[in-house]
């Protein structure tokens, strides 16, 4: 019997205009085994998700 395969890492997008939030959350989620893509502006995030699979988005709704 072969051992079960480990689940594929999940990709999480962080979208926030506060660099310290992106850095802290990014480090936390990366240390938990997630793949993290961080964006400080909406436009690059929208381009990214149009071409890539994303499992979760953490979005700052009060971005300036």
Q: What does the pLDDT read at residue 24?
A: 97
User: Is 50 a domain residue?
Assistant: yes
Domain that holds residue 27: 11-59
Q: What does the pLDDT read at residue 59?
A: 94
User: Is 4 a domain residue?
Assistant: no
Q: What is the CATH number of the domain that holds 51?
A: 3.40.50.2300
Q: What does the pLDDT read at residue 49?
A: 96
Number of domains in the chain: 1
User: Is 5 a domain residue?
Assistant: no
Long-range CB contacts (within 8 A, 24+) of 8-11: 9/33, 9/34, 9/35, 10/34, 10/35, 10/55, 10/56, 11/35, 11/36, 11/37, 11/52, 11/53, 11/54, 11/55, 11/56
User: Is 43 a domain residue?
Assistant: yes
Per-residue pLDDT reduced to its tens digit, 3-42:
777 677 899 999 999 999 999 999 999 999 999 999 999 9
> Does 61 have pLDDT greater than 80?
yes
Q: What does the pLDDT read at residue 63?
A: 79
């Amino acid at each position: 019997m072969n051992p079960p395969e480990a689940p594929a890492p999940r990709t999480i997008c962080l979208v926030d205009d506060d660099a310290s939030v992106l850095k802290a959350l990014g480090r936390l989620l990366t240390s938990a085994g997630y793949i993290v893509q961080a964006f400080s502006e909406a436009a690059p995030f929208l381009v990214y998700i149009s071409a890539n699979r994303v499992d979760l988005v953490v979005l700052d709704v009060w971005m300036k």
